[in-house]
Amino acid sequence: MTFAELLDRIGGMGRFQVFHVALLVTPILLTASHNLLQNFSAAVPEHHCRIRWAGNASEWPANRTQRMSLQEDLLRIAIPQDATGKPEKCRRFVTPRWHLLAANASLNGTPEPMETEPCHDGWIYDRSVFTNTIIMEWDLVCNLRTRRQMAQSIYMGGVLVGALVFGTLADRFGRKAVLSWSYLQMAVSGVCTAFSPSLTAYCVFRFLVGMALSGIVLNCMSLVLEWVPTKVRTVAGTVVGYSATLGQIILPGLAYALPDWRWLQFAASMPFFAFFIYSWWFAESARWLVLSGKVEKAVEVLKKVAQFNGKKDEGEKLTTEVLKSNMQKELALAQTSYTLVSLARTPTVRRISCCISSVWFATSFAYYGLAMDLQNFGFSIYLIQVAFGSIDIPAKLGSAVGMSYIGRRTTQASSVILAGLAILANTFVPQELRTLRTSLAVLGKGCLASSFNCLYLYTGELYPTVIRQTGMGLGSTLARVGGIVAPMVKMTGEYLPYLPPIIYGTAPILSGIAAIFLPETLNMPLPDTIEEVENRNSPERRLLTRGHEQVLLQKMDQEVAPGRG
């Protein structure tokens, strides 16, 4: 009897599993919101230089129409216009240009040069959509505009460090303890972010939020998959994925209700105190307890689960000897030692590592390149975020259907290639065609969500049990690196506007080509050792899997024929 069969005996997908999964996936709603929070907390409003000789606003006319007319006149004589006819964001006239108030006055028709200067007295921001963002609060515009991307890269750096640190700690101290700590760290660092007195403090606390996010996502997925029966793992993983999707859809509603970034950050962080409190009810992974040598504790936990599921009699039959006998294979594999070098030691595993890592990097790289640039589409940022979140629903469903009927490799390769083509196509669409540009971006984001959905399952099936976690860790690390690099590439748009979308689109296409060289895993048993992976992908084995048994038999007959004579 395997451990999976043991879970079925004590209730399978019983009341405990349903309750457990529900409590685990609820925080994922807000972790998804934190992941994209800077779309709103760091939104860039319309702005222009402050007019130093505008006088005291309290002395302006009381009539609203007259005040607006006076503001327009002051703006016309004080701020130059850009190519689109809007006020320049980073320059102002040194002295007022009264002649521009003339009926047909224009910059091109002015004979004398009009000297300009930077915004020495600060900026005026349009607060009609957002009452306050970090851009307004710390004037992250003009010469400081790249600080916005820097802050996002620092956050993604925290996500990377969190994956490395909390993944290791979870293997040593258990999933439950690290998950509880991650909830607490998310709550404290998130609230501290809301009270940040400076950009430096903001970046430090956001880094800690990113670390906590990794700890939550990794250990949530582990506890979900390690407590549910094998036959419902795909469904449970899909529930986790759709919880993140729902979080993306909830975020714009929360941001619309709280247009001040500090209140938005506070509201998205406070619930994690409640998550931290109820996380102590969670049951530690029995599989991890056994592999860590804590068999007695594992038996105790399994008996409690059996009682919760109404299977108390089955739970009473459990002993340390029974549990060890059910997990002999896992215990034997746990005794072997493998490192990161094992991912490149043999030819087939080396090819898998190179190809799948490129897909992880490119998917995350292009995903955050699109998802963190919502203001450039010309529509309401709230509606765009809803569209970007909603597309994940059919995209992930399509991915699941494709993986089940077409195959993992074809689904994986086609999703990233199609995403890259959609992003590249946008470079040729004029800015005026906002609907078409937005539709292509939403299509690209949906394909990338489909790629992510496929990656988690496909990567786990490609690697053998002995290095599966190591392989998943490598892919996750490359994904975080992609998330860090994406905002930096966005900075190149300041000099070459077409360069970022070209890079964002090319990377997925190249990774899709690399995915073609991966082996297919549809309806194939999970390998346990590196030797099984190498043998599974030998030429003879591939002939068998394609239904060419007769060809292989003829080849074997020819090889032994001389010996028969």
- Helices marked H in 82-139 — which ranges? 134-138
- Closest alpha carbon to 363 in 415, 410, 439: 415
Work out the pLDDT band at 506, boundaries 50, 70, 90: very high
The percent of residues in the chain predicted with pLDDT above 90, rounded, is 23
Query: Which pLDDT value is given to residue 559?
Result: 46
Query: b or e along 180-205 (b: 16 or more beta carbons within 10 Å of the residue's beta carbon)?
Result: bbbbbbbbbbbbbbbebeebeebbbb
What pLDDT was estimated at residue 56?
A: 52
Q: Share the mean pLDDT of the chain.
A: 81
Q: Name the CATH topology of 1-34+139-335.
A: Growth Hormone; Chain: A; (1.20.1250)
Q: Quote the CATH superfamily of domain 338-565.
A: MFS general substrate transporter like domains (1.20.1250.20)
SS3 content of the chain, % helix, strand, coil (to 5): 75, 5, 25
Q: What type of residue is 346? A: T
DSSP letter (8 states) at residue 120? T
Pick the most confident of 40-54, 238-252, 323-337, 506-520.
Answer: 506-520
How many whole angstroms separate alpha carbon 468 and alpha carbon 463?
Answer: 5
In whole angstroms, give the CA distance from residue 481 to residue 34: 18
* pLDDT reading at 346 higher than 80: yes
Write down the pLDDT at residue 11.
Answer: 78
Would the CATH topology of 1-34+139-335 be identical to that of 338-565?
yes
What's at 139, amino acid-wise? Answer: D
* pLDDT greater than 50 at residue 546: no
The contacts found for 499-502 with CB under 8 angstroms, 24 or more apart, are 500/369, 501/423, 501/424, 501/426, 501/427, 502/424, 502/427
8 Å CB contact between 286 and 17: no
Q: Which two tokens stand for residue 157?
A: 């750096």
pLDDT of residue 543: 44
Polymer length in residues for the chain: 565
Q: What is the pTM of this model?
A: 0.79
Percentage of the chain beyond pLDDT 70 is 84
Tell me the mean pLDDT in the region 168-173.
80
1 versus 452: the higher-pLDDT residue is 452
Give the angle subtended at the CA of 409 by the CAs of 532 and 534, to the nearest 5°: 15
Confidence band of 183 (pLDDT split at 50, 70, 90): very high
pLDDT tens per residue across span 406-454:
888 999 999 999 999 999 998 888 878 888 888 898 999 999 989 988 8
**pLDDT(541) > 70:** no
Q: Which of 206-220, 262-276, 328-342, 487-501 has the highest mean pLDDT?
A: 262-276
In the predicted model, what is the mean pLDDT of residues 141-159? 88
pLDDT at 100 over 70: no
pLDDT at 417 (0 to 100):
95
Does 187 score more than 90 pLDDT?
yes
Q: Summarize pLDDT for 373-405 with one digit per residue, the tens.
A: 777 777 788 888 888 888 888 998 888 888 888
pLDDT digits (tens, 9 = 90+) for 456-480: 778 878 888 677 777 877 888 888 8
At 134 the pLDDT is 92
Name the residue with tokens 């996936």. Answer: 25
DSSP 8-state secondary structure symbol assigned to residue 260: B
Domain boundaries, the chain: 1-34+139-335, 47-125, 338-565
The two most distant CA atoms of the chain are separated, in Å, by 114
Please tell me the predicted confidence (pLDDT) of residue 344.
Answer: 82
Residue 538 has pLDDT above 70, yes or no: no
Higher pLDDT, 355 or 529: 355
Alpha-helical (H) ranges within 47-109 are 64-78
| Secondary structure (3-state) at 47 | strand
Residue 540 has pLDDT above 50, yes or no: no
- The two tokens of residue 496 are 């070459």
Tokens 């964001």 sit on residue: 89
pLDDT value at residue 532: 82
- pLDDT bucket at 5, cuts 50 / 70 / 90: confident
